[in-house]
Chains A and B, each alone.
Chain A
Amino acid sequence: MKHRIAQTFQLLKEKHEKALIPYVMAGDPSLRQTEELVLELERNGANLIELGVPFSDPIADGPVIQLAAERALRSGTSLKKILAMVKRLRQKTQIPLILMAYYNTLMAMGEEPFCREAVAVGIDGVIIPDMPPEESKVLSTAATTHGLDVIFLLAPTSTALRKQEVIKRARGFIYYVSLTGITGFPLSNIGKVQTHVRHIQKTAKKPVAVGFGIATPHEAKAVSQFADGVIVGSAIVRQIGAAAQSSHLVKHIGSFIKKLKHAMT
C-alpha cells in the first residue's frame, strides 16, 4: 500500500475524526515489547505511530525521553534492528509508521541507504528534530527518490518566512511544536496553539499535528478540536518506564491510549 500517511488522514477527515499519534521509544524496554506495543496501540485507537530511534545525546528531548533512550540503548537497540522489527510488523499491520531520529543516527547508516531500507521495510515517514529545512537537502533528495515522507516541524518561534519554507517542503503532515521548550514540558496556552495551527492550516492544505506537552485525555480532546492530529509522547513513555518490569505493560499502555482516543471522539 502506498501513501499510508495521506490515506489515513483522508479517511479520518471523511469520518470527521482526528488522528491520535502516540510516540514510543523503539527498544524501550525491548524491541520485542515495542512490537507488541505497536499492535496494542493500534487496537486501542492509534491512527499513526511514531517510533523513536534512541540517540545518546537527544538535545530536543526532556528527561523522560532521554531516560527512555538510555534504556533502549542498554537493551541493544540500533536503527538496523528497528528496521528489522518494522519488517516483521508489516506482516501484521498497515498502520502508518514514522521514525523520529536524530540526524547522526541516519548519517551513520548513510542518508541514501537509510531512505531505501526504511521504505523497503515499510516505514512511511521520518521526523528529524535536529534537521531544519536549511540542512535537509541530502536527506530530502534521497527521501523523494524512495518515496519516504520527510515531516518538518514548526514552532511558536517560527517566522512567517520559515512557515512558508516548511509548508513548501512538508510531506505527509506538518508537526507543530506546541511550546517553546523540550519534550515533556507542560502545555500552558492552548488558545495560542490554536491560533498558530489555524493559521498554518489555512496556507498549508496539509494536515497539521500538534505535539510536545500533551499528556492527558483532557488536553488531547482540547487540541483535537482544531488540530488534524494529536501527538502524545512523554506521557506514554513515562508510563512505559514506570511499568517496564510489569507483565501487564502492554495492556496498561493500551488502556491509556483508549482513554485518549475516547476523549477525542
Chain B
Amino acid sequence: MPHIPDTHGRFGQYGGLYVPEILMPAVLELRNIYASIRKDRQFQKTFLTCLQEYVGRPTPLYFAKNLTKTLGGAKIYLKREDLCHTGAHKINNAVGQALLTQRMKKHRVIAETGAGQHGVAVATVAAKFGLEAEIYMGTEDMERQALNVFRMRLLGAKVTGVNAGSRTLKDAISEAMRDWTTNVRTSHYLLGSVLGPHPYPMMIRDFQSIIGREARKQVWAAEGQLPHLLVACVGGGSNSIGLFYPFLKDSSVKMVGVEAGGLGVKSGKHAARFSGGKPGVLHGTMTYLLQNEHGQVNLTHSVSAGLDYAAVGPEHSMHHDSGRIRYTSATDKEALAGFDLLSQEEGIIPALESAHAVAEVIKLAPTMKKQQILVMNLSGRGDKDVQHIAHMRGTHL
C-alpha cells in the first residue's frame, strides 16, 4: 500500500499545498521538521507523557447502558474526549503542535477557532509552554460562544474578532493565514483541524489518532472483538479521522461521518459538503467544497459553530470517493434532540458538534443487532453551548 499522503501531501487527488509563495518555505520547513519528529522517539515520548499527565489520557471508553436500552439495538460505547482537559479532543493536537513550535524555536502561535474549543486548547498550551497566542474568531461565533471567548482571555491569549465575510470559521482561517503570511518568521500557525496545506492534514490526523488507538485497545478489552460501527461528527474532520484512522484497515469496521445538515440539505443552509459540494481549493488544500458555479465559496449554516465550515479535510474526501467511510448529515433539530437525549439518559451534556453524532446513533443503533458494538466519539462537552441553547429556548442566563 503506498504511503498516504505522498510527499506532496496528496490523498489521491485531494490535499496538496495551495499557499502563497511567501508561505511556501515555512510550509516546507514544517513538512521537514514534522517528518523528523514523526520518527523521533524522544518527541513521541514527551508528547505521550504530556497527554497522560496534562490532558488526562487515556480517556474512558464508556458503555452507555441507558442509551443502549432506550434505543434497543447495538451496544453503544462513548469515547469520552469530553473528559480531556479543556473539554474536547482539540487539546491533543494543540499539545503536539505546541511541542513542535518549541522545536522550531518560534515563540508565537496563531490560531483560528469556530466553536472556541480549539481556541481554548491553544490558549491553554500557550500558557503552559510560555508561548504568545493570538486567536482569530468570527464575530458571529464570538456571540454564539461568549463563554469560550472569556476563557481564552482568562488564559492570557489575545482574541481578535473577524468581521469579514460570514464572520465565522472560514473567515477566521483566512485572517489567521494572513497573520501567518505577515509574521511567518516568528510565528507558527497552530491550525486546529485536518485542513490546510500539507503537512497539516497528516500531522493533525497523527496527533488525533491517539483517540482511535486507545479506543481499539479498550473495545478489545471490554468485548474481545472489534466494533461493528464507528460514528463521529465531521466539521474539518479531526475528531472523526482521529477515531477512524487506526481502524481503516479493518474492513469489518464500518464508519459513518456526520456533517452539519443545518436547516436541511434542501434548504441550502447547511454545511454538508458531501451532499452539496464539489472538489475545489480553499485555505491551502484541494477538497470537497461548498461553492457556487463560479467557484465562490458558499455561506454555511449550522447550530454548531464547530461544524460550520464550507470545506472538509482532504483525507475525508478521498475516503468519501472510495466509499471506505460513509458520510451523512444531521439537521440542527436532530442534533438538538440528540443533545437532550444524551443529557437526560446518561447525565452527559455533549457539545453541539458531538450531538450530531448522537443524532446518527439514534437513527442507526435501533437497526443493529443487540450483540453488535457501536463506538461513538463524544468529541467534546456541552458546557460551552449551554448559554446559547438557553437563549434559543428563551431563557436568559
Check B284–A104 contact: CB distance below 8 A: no
A134 at the interface (CB under 8 A from B): yes
Q: Mark A68-111, 1 if CB is under 8 A from B, else 0.
A: 00100100001110000000000000000000001111111100
* Residue interface bits B10-25, CB-to-A below 8 A is 1, else 0: 0000001111111111
Q: Do A104 and B24 have beta carbons less than 8 Å apart?
A: no
Q: How far is the CA of A55 from the CA of B178 in the complex (A)?
A: 15
Residues of B within 8 A of A113 (CB): none
Using an 8 Å CB-CB cutoff, how does the interface string of A126-140 with B read, 1 for contact, 0 for none?
Answer: 000111101100000
Cross-chain contact B182 with A132 (CB below 8 angstroms): no
Given A62-B178, A162-B25, check contact A134 B17 (CB 8 Å).
Answer: yes
A157:B296 contact, CB within 8 angstroms: no
The B contact surface, by secondary structure, is: mixed
B21 touches A132 (CB 8 A): yes
Q: Is B389 an interface residue (CB 8 A)?
A: no
What residues of chain A lie closer than 8 Å to B283, measured between beta carbons? 57, 59
Q: What's the nearest-Cβ distance from chain A to residue B358, in Å?
A: 31
List chain B residues, Cβ under 8 A from A187: none
B164 at the interface (CB under 8 A from A): yes
Q: Which of B18, B25, B280, B296 contacts A131 (CB 8 A)?
A: B18
When the two chains form the complex, which single residue of A79, A107, A158 contacts B24, counting CB atoms closer than 8 Å?
Answer: A158
Interface size class of B (residues with CB under 8 A): 35 or more
Q: How many inter-chain residue pairs (CB < 8 Å) link A and B?
A: 117
> How far apart are A28's CB and chain B's nearest CB, in angstroms?
15
Residue of A nearest to B198 (CB): A134
- Chain B residue with Cβ nearest A77: B294
Is the Cβ of A55 less than 8 Å from the Cβ of B295? yes
Q: Is A155 an interface residue (CB 8 A)?
A: yes
Q: B296 touching A103 by the CB < 8 A rule?
A: no
- Complex: how many Å from CA A248 to CA B387? 52
A185–B178 Cα gap in the complex (Å)?
Answer: 11
Residues of A within 8 A of B297 (CB): 56-57, 104
- Interface size for A (C-beta < 8 A) is 43
How distant is B236 from chain A, measured CB to nearest CB, in Å? 15
Scan B266-297; emit 1 where CB is below 8 A from any A CB, else 0. 00000000000001111110000101011111
Q: Mark B258-271, 1 if CB is under 8 A from A, else 0.
A: 00000000000000
**Of A174-182, A194-202, A227-235, which binds chain B?**
A174-182
Partner of B184, one of A57, A60, A157, A166: A157
Contact status B8-A134, CB under 8 Å: yes
Report Cα–Cα, A23/B181, bound state, in Å: 21
Which single member of A107, A155, A181 contacts B280 (CB below 8 Å)? A107
> Would you call B174 and A57 a contact (CB within 8 A)?
yes
Are A103 and B24 CB-contacts (below 8 A) given A62-B178, A180-B184?
Answer: no
Interface CB pairs A-B, < 8 A, 7: A57-B297, A129-B20, A130-B20, A132-B18, A135-B17, A162-B25, A182-B181
**15 further interface pairs, Cβ-Cβ under 8 Å (given A57-B170, A130-B18, A132-B18):** A56-B165, A57-B174, A57-B283, A57-B297, A59-B19, A59-B178, A60-B178, A106-B295, A129-B20, A130-B281, A132-B19, A157-B21, A157-B25, A166-B21, A177-B22
